[in-house]
Structure 1
Amino acid sequence: MHQKWYNATEVEVGSLNSKYHFYMETIEVSRLSALAFFAAGEQSYSGKRFFWQNREKTLTLVGLGHAYTIENNATDHRFDAVEQEWKRLTKNIVKEEQDLQPILFGGFTFDPHNNQEGEWSDFPQSYFTVASFQLVIRHDTAYVSIHYITDEENSTKAFDRMRKERDHLIHAAQVKEVKTYSKPKMTSYKEPFKEEYLQSLEKVTSLIKANEAEKVVIARSLALQFEDSVSSPQILSHVVHEQPESYLFGLEHKDMLFFGASPERLVKVHNGQAYSSCVAGSIRRGKTADEDEQLGQALLNDEKNLGEHHYVVEMISQTFEKNCCSVKVPKRPKLLKIRDIQHLYTPVEGTLACDATILQLVKHLHPTPALGGVPRQEALELIRKYESMNRGLYAAPIGWLDADGNGEFAVAIRSAALTRDKAYLYAGGGIVGDSTPQAEYEETRVKFRPMLRALGGQLSE
């Protein structure tokens, strides 16, 4: 095993005057399954874990336990509050090498001004954690880090206990066979507020025709009931194997697991370069290659979908131009094909200005027209008025950042919330002047499929 030691530092955190010591130790490990490491924390760290894998499969993250938590209900200041606390926590960390450092993982809820009761009532508007035990797999090389943040003057014994716990977790992940999980047994499902959803589509369409907005994304949920409680490793194992072409994520908070397989990057920053993806406009996959090609070409030439896509490209490009020195945007979209659906896709790239950060980009990009609408504030007001649910983390930014300002956030679509023996799936669609309720309803059924399949369910036709 290759081992590195990162020096302890003293930093002031939050509003407290006490000094915190940030201890970190990293070892390189061979043969380690991310899912097995996640499952190894089931007994001791359930409710305090996260999982992330980027779309290219060049980076996988697993976190077990909470060394430090940053959460707030600071509404419109929540992005800045998280950034300031993270900078205070990490500003003095002394690193022997630059190849690995602590990672902050979490997400921001879609709309901090939504107070509707439901499965998200107990969830903070911003929720991020530094893991006690962090696994990073980068280009097939695995590292496990211990993070220990304390105000105790002498923590040698505590850190020694964490070393033993780390070795136990690694051993369990390496030696025990990777478990194969059966699909949960769904006993029933319901479509909450289905009639209200269909009525809201008619109302919002009429308001768009009356020039109250240009586009509004209206979402709905699907509630599943299972025979028994469902575990986080059980579900993530199916999502990982069934949706390899997507961003894969799972974030636990108390007895909830929020998970998904998103096709859409919100923003990535690497060494001062920023990247985003404009994903809007969709159509189903074909049953044959020829049908798939025909459907894809139809999407590339569909005025409604091209119009929706243009809104997103325009907004993301403008945000990049305000935060970057130079910006590259292709003139026409391509097709992004994933298992159940194909989308219009345009990548955007820029060189960050010296004062811009990944969380500032997240703050200004969220919500994109693909998830909120156009104009943004008018669309959000209509969503609050006509959408019969609290989105929570659905359609919101989820991802990670490090102390050097690198990181990546995906848009948490194709997602679901699991609480013991219940799950809530989420899907939405962009409403414009010529939208029809039945077509939008059918589109959400297609978007439910990835998480529904992972959960072992199916909808009656």
Structure 2
Amino acid sequence: MIQQYKTDFESFLREAAENRQQKILVSWTEKVGAIDPLRFFANGSSLEGHRNFWYSQKDDFCLVGAGPTVMDMRTADEWEHAIESAVVHNLSAGAGTGPVAFSGINFQKERERDLWQDFPDTQYRIPAFTLTKTKTDYYLTINQLVDGSNIESQITAILGQLEQLFAEGTIPAVRKELISKEELESEAWKRLVKEATDTIKSTELDKVVLARGMKLEFKEKIHVSHVLGNLLDTQKDSFLFAVENGSACFLGATPERLVRVQSGILHTSCVAGTAPRGRNEAEDQSIGEALLHDNKNQEEHQYVVKMISGVISKYAKDLRLPGGPQLMKLRQLQHLYTPVSAKLLPGASLQQIIQELHPTPALGGLPKQEALDFIEVKEPLERGWYGAPIGWQDSYRNGDTAVAIRSGLLNEKQAVLFAGCGVVKDSDPEMEFEETAIKFRPMLEALEVSK
């Protein structure tokens, strides 16, 4: 695919690296023909390195990272330094082109790192290859660290890797035989919900979000591309993500954007309050109307709107939000939803906003620190990246992040799924348990596991 640009690209690498004593990030972007992002992702399994996938179905925008990791950073400052000194060829300069860092963080610092041992507390990853799909165009970005030596061998390796990434073929459907399915510590979790409501009634804690897990064992290795394809087919109006580290892959289809910045405009969404979909249109409408007027869910939603609006107002102006929540209808669930937009103030950064927003009351609780302390001490689940911001940032100050819910950690023949819900003073343990059971369904369906 890049063969036609070989001469220009090689000259670009040489010129960028000339007279440099240390390696420098060099990034080359070209517009290319249509490529299936899922096949690009699947083909990336044959290369050294780890893959990333991001798809905003609302925006019809997709990013796929594959090939050897060029930079694997642990702080936003490292990312800023990398792009400040990078040499970039990118005639499009569109959002999500040029150097892109795929990012993710831990929900909060944990004492034990068993399940999530391959996932660092913070990660900004620049892969060797990034495919960008917009509504109308496709772009390929090649990233390399160069210092002037071994340019010929780098070019040869790049061409060989691209040949593998662009190989034609279909993604085979792989039948997975389920060996076991276990809901982790179900009764203990219900007791924890009761303890949380008692704590809320007797302390300053107003809300805490509790999560639980489900463990699945299969006879065969789980093929991530096949699961991701199922999510693409079934979870419309969601943000799809996948991040590989070690032998594990964290992926899911979340309805909740944390914050997006593009061309200086900030977008975020407040999603809190949940109900199932109806079996027919009349029942679905009735459930939705009940959700819109349910005191418990309205209270939970307003916590989130107030907190997010307060943070955004520090970093942006001309805040816009509707007078009340709307219904967001997904395949298995419907939520209360309030979109928010604003103009980013000069000097404000996506990283600052993410750091202050996370976790929102929809994922942690209120007051924030009291809720986090309760989760850290009481909740037995190792959350890892579950419920935390995951997304991407480019060198033009654009970026997008979603909250990593409706998700699972896949590792060889094992899958651990995660689901949570907001607990307030009137929460009922059995009803909260049923809500989390519904939230497992998107990943169970993607893994082709019946209820």
The question of a shared fold, defined as TM-score above 0.5 by the shorter chain, is answered with: yes
8 A contact 1:258–1:418 mirrored in 2? yes
Structure 1 position 437, deviation (Å): 0.6
8 A contact 1:146–1:162 mirrored in 2? no
Secondary structure, aligned partner of 1:91: helix
Q: Give the 5 Å matches for 1:253-332.
A: 253-332=245-324
> In the TM superposition, what whole-angstrom CA distance separates every residue of 1:401-449 from its partner, at most 9, and x where no partner exists?
0011100000000000001000000000000000011000000000000
1:118 aligns with 2:122: no
Structure 1 position 211, deviation (Å): 2.6
1:218 aligns with 2:218: no
Unaligned runs of 5+ in 2: none
Q: Distance in 1 between matches of 2:150 and 2:308?
A: 47
Give the partner amino acid of 1:107: G
1:389 aligns with 2:377: no
8 A contact 2:28–2:88 mirrored in 1? no
Structure 1 position 57, deviation (Å): 4.3
1:147 aligns with 2:143: yes
Match of 1:76 in 2: none
> What's the TM-score once normalised by structure 1's chain length?
0.91
8 A contact 2:211–2:418 mirrored in 1? yes
Match of 2:60 in 1: 58
1:90 aligns with 2:83: yes
8 A contact 2:118–2:246 mirrored in 1? no
Match of 2:28 in 1: 25
8 A contact 1:58–1:140 mirrored in 2? no
Which moves more between the two structures, 36-45 or 332-341? 36-45
Give the partner amino acid of 1:307: E
Match of 1:408 in 2: 400
8 A contact 1:214–1:373 mirrored in 2? yes
RMSD value over aligned CA atoms? 2.0
> In the TM superposition, what whole-angstrom CA distance separates every residue of 1:138-172 from its partner, at most 9, and x where no partner exists?
1142122211113x322421331144124413441
Give the partner amino acid of 2:151: T
8 A contact 1:116–1:389 mirrored in 2? no
Q: Distance in 1 between matches of 2:22 and 2:414?
A: 42
Secondary structure, aligned partner of 2:40: helix
Match of 2:130 in 1: 134
Q: Give the 5 Å matches for 1:205-244.
A: 205-244=197-236
Give the partner amino acid of 2:56: N
1:44 aligns with 2:47: yes
Q: 1:344 to 1:262 in 2, by over 3 A?
A: same
Match of 2:446 in 1: 454
8 A contact 2:29–2:89 mirrored in 1? no
Q: Which among 79, 84, 104 is matched to residue 107 of structure 1? A: 104
Give the partner amino acid of 1:125: D
Secondary structure, aligned partner of 2:189: helix
Structure 1 position 331, deviation (Å): 1.4
Q: Give the 5 Å matches for 1:365-380.
A: 365-380=357-372
Secondary structure, aligned partner of 2:80: helix
Secondary structure, aligned partner of 2:103: strand
Secondary structure, aligned partner of 1:405: coil
Secondary structure, aligned partner of 1:392: coil
1:161 aligns with 2:153: no
8 A contact 2:76–2:124 mirrored in 1? no
Match of 2:343 in 1: 351
8 A contact 1:107–1:127 mirrored in 2? yes
> What's the TM-score once normalised by structure 2's chain length?
0.93
Structure 1 position 18, deviation (Å): 6.4
Q: Distance in 1 between matches of 2:298 and 2:254?
A: 21
1:182 aligns with 2:178: no
Give the % identical residues.
36
Q: Distance in 1 between matches of 2:100 and 2:409?
A: 23
Q: Distance in 1 between matches of 2:16 and 2:206?
A: 52
8 A contact 2:197–2:427 mirrored in 1? yes
Q: Distance in 1 between matches of 2:43 and 2:235?
A: 23
Secondary structure, aligned partner of 2:391: strand
8 A contact 2:133–2:139 mirrored in 1? yes
> In the TM superposition, what whole-angstrom CA distance separates every residue of 1:87-135 from its partner, at most 9, and x where no partner exists?
11111334452233111002011012x2234311342101221111111
Secondary structure, aligned partner of 2:244: strand
Give the partner amino acid of 2:81: R
Secondary structure, aligned partner of 2:57: coil
Q: Distance in 2 between matches of 1:202 and 1:322?
A: 36
8 A contact 2:249–2:409 mirrored in 1? yes
Q: Distance in 2 between matches of 1:301 and 1:226?
A: 42
Q: Distance in 1 between matches of 2:53 and 2:118?
A: 21
8 A contact 1:267–1:408 mirrored in 2? yes
Give the partner amino acid of 1:111: Q
